[in-house]
Amino acid sequence: MNPDAPSNNPLYIELADKLRADIETGVYAPGDRMPSEPTLCRTTGHSRSTVRKALQLLVGQGYVTKSQGKGTFVSELPQRVEAASKMTPTFLSFTENALSLGATPTTRTIDLRNTTPTPGLAEFFGVTESDELFEVTRLRSVNGEPIMLETIWLPLAYADLTGEELDGSLYQSLKARYGKEPSTGTKSIGICYANSREAFQLGVERDSPLMLIEDHVFDQDGVPLHVSKQVLRGDKHQYSMHMPRVIS
């Protein structure tokens, strides 16, 4: 692999694609230990940062798992999941998306509270409208400029998550604290118009058009994990998805 070859993709995505192909073709079998970061740096010519981002992307896609002090190992994925993953677009997280554009993402938690659910939230979580959910509001920036206001609703079982934890990766915190990981769900993308709070936080005029992304996510046991609403400045940020394979 030539790290200096021209490409439209960031280097870490190219490397992740190469390693993913090696896993799918059996170069690395389920349970095998992947080469260490220093080894991958030496054999590919990539920087430690590029190698680390590539492995993190593969972790997020379920191809590998990391064991502290032991290394990175190929996941035991069912064959049908492997086949489906080749055909399904992978939506990048906000952090992955910003990094893919060569930008620096940051997250700041601005509100944590318990709230009663809307009828739609109550239906998804299987609670009544008089019950409570844990609501998190985060302001997410790129290169120091506010880009996204995100609201997340979770069951009260996760209400002891702290602002410090939520200033980082939500999924990493859920896995570390509760052993919960996202598995399946739905994502919808549309347009909305800024209300007063969104306009203030994002630095736009009220009723300005914003990109709206909504996620309904289940954990690995099929239990509702979270609902998120993200409003983004489309004039400042592009939303991307990685296509492992394009079908004509």
Residues near 74 by beta carbon (within 8 Å), at least 6 away in sequence? 23, 28, 29, 30, 31, 32, 34, 63, 64
Phi, psi of 39 (to 5 degrees): -65, -45
Report the alpha-carbon distance of residue 142 to residue 196 in Å, rounded: 22
Whole-number pLDDT of residue 238: 61
Whole-number pLDDT of residue 237: 62
Looking at per-residue confidence, does 222 or 28 come out higher? 28
In 3-state terms, what secondary structure has residue 127? coil
In 3-state terms, what secondary structure has residue 18? helix
Mean pLDDT across the chain, nearest whole number? 82
Whole-number pLDDT of residue 5: 42
Report the alpha-carbon distance of residue 150 to residue 160 in Å, rounded: 19
Residue 139: which of 189, 202, 95, 190 has the closest Cα? 202
For residue 219, what are the β-bridge partners?
182
- For residue 221, name the pLDDT band (cuts at 50, 70, 90): confident
Q: Is the pLDDT of residue 247 over 50?
A: no
pLDDT digits (tens, 9 = 90+) for 44-65: 999 988 888 788 778 767 788 8
Report the alpha-carbon distance of residue 113 to residue 22 in Å, rounded: 45
Report the alpha-carbon distance of residue 72 to residue 37 in Å, rounded: 9
Q: Is the pLDDT of residue 96 over 50?
A: yes
Please answer whether residues 136 and 236 qualify as being in contact, where contact means their C-beta atoms are separated by less than 8 angstroms. Answer: no
Q: Is the pLDDT of residue 94 over 60?
A: yes
Neighbours of 14 (CB within 10 A): 20
Residue 228: which of 216, 241, 218 has the closest Cα? 216
Looking at per-residue confidence, does 41 or 219 come out higher? 41
Residue 217: which of 225, 208, 205, 206 has the closest Cα? 225
Whole-number pLDDT of residue 243: 46
Superfamily of 99-237 according to CATH: Chorismate lyase-like (3.40.1410.10)
Looking at per-residue confidence, does 123 or 43 come out higher? 43
For residue 142, what are the β-bridge partners?
105, 145
What is the architecture of the domain spanning 11-90? Orthogonal Bundle (1.10)
- How confident is the model over 144-148, as a mean pLDDT? 91
Is 99-237 in the same CATH topology as 11-90?
Answer: no
Token pair 């492992």 in the structure block, residue: 244
Whole-number pLDDT of residue 42: 93
Q: What angle is formed at CA 160 by the lines to CA 136 and CA 227, rounded to 5 degrees? A: 35
**Which sequence spans correspond to the domains of the chain?**
11-90, 99-237
